[in-house]
Structure 1
């Protein structure tokens, strides 16, 4: 997959948990593949890097569109850098001696601060299209596979804390909100 210039975009503010309904509903499929879409992908990379993240879904910057970007290491330490428009998550299962699932800490730019352990498939693949509408896919293991699953969850309106037990979720959201009781914008 050929990536656009990752540093040519404009960083946009990150939407925090509970601050915008777009973060909590399924995103709309992309149907127009034009310069505005290419610009959005660039802005998403810029926003992710500015926030020191490893992945970002479009709704995390307030855009109702099924797109995510990522720059995250896989189980072998190799960076998986890419984006997918209209992604479909595939969990192919373990290969060889790989574990089927991995429980490790996960965090989110939309819930700044706290991390929590969450089980995810060790290997994942996402299939979709690029900014020109051409088929593309990303397959990854380890943290990068976790990132694929996390970002597709976002596009379905699910934030990682939504997968946690209620008591833990409430504690993490309170921690993220800080003493003022509001998540930072």
Structure 2
């Protein structure tokens, strides 16, 4: 596998439904490691496989909190509660930011790089990042959920 590069909108792979991962091998580990490296190099807090042109249910998240790096394979949201509204961006949409409504709390079941199932509960910014990346795996882009876009540091439409 060569070095990964970001896929940018309007690449149709960003809106595709991703296939579940069934093989947990060294290729998967390499993909996860390269995705994580690219995410950090790009100043991101999450990256989903379709953002590097791979249509598999794989994502990495690291919001620089106590959880550290989280590898998500075949993630499913089991529960969501509450509501938060805040700024969001996406590495596949450079320089585009908007206000997005997300759940305040999520409970997610996923598998790690070895295929072992785990459950993670998250609030606040981590919940936002997890849901954003899981959306990517189902072809859902943050732009479909933006209430208002930011322009030059201000919300569009503000007086």
Q: Which residue in 2 is equivalent to 1:153?
A: 135
CA contact (8 A) 1:15 1:62 kept: yes
**Using the alignment, how far apart are the partners of 1:11 and 1:79 within structure 2?**
26
Structure whose residues are more often strand by fraction? 2
Secondary structure of residue in 1 paired with 2:69: strand
Q: TM-score, normalised by structure 1?
A: 0.75
User: Residue 72 of structure 1: SS of its match in structure 2?
Assistant: coil
Residue 126 of structure 1: CA displacement?
1.6
Shift of 1:56: 0.4
Give the ranges of 4+ consecutive aligned residues of structure 1 lying more than 6 Å apart after TM superposition.
none
Q: Indicate yes or no: 2:73 matched with 1:85.
A: yes
Matches of residues 116-155 of structure 1 in structure 2 within 5 Å? 116-155=98-137
Structure 1: distance between partners of 2:39 and 2:3: 8
Shift of residue 78 of structure 1? 4.1
Q: Is the 8 A contact 1:125 1:148 kept in 2?
A: no
CA offset at residue 92 of structure 1? 3.9
Uncovered stretches (5+) of structure 1, i.e. residues with no partner: 1-9, 94-99, 173-185
Question: What whole-Å deviation, never above 9, does each CA across 1:6-54 have from its counterpart, x for those lacking one?
Answer: xxxx8521111112x2211110110111110111111110110111100
Q: Is the 8 A contact 1:12 1:61 kept in 2?
A: yes
Q: CA deviation at 1:80?
A: 4.2
Q: Which has the larger share of helix?
A: 1
- Is residue 9 of structure 2 the alignment partner of residue 17 of structure 1? yes
Pair 130,78 (structure 1): closer, same or farther in 2 beyond 3 Å: closer
More deviation in 131-140 or 21-30? 131-140
Structure 2: any 5+ residue segments left out of the alignment? 152-159
Q: How does 1:1-185 map to 2 (within 5 A)?
A: 12-19=4-11, 21-73=12-64, 78=66, 80-93=68-81, 100-164=82-146
- How far apart, CA to CA, are the structure 2 residues paired with 1:147 and 1:80? 13
Change beyond 3 A, Cα 1:118–1:48: same
Matching residue of 1:175: none
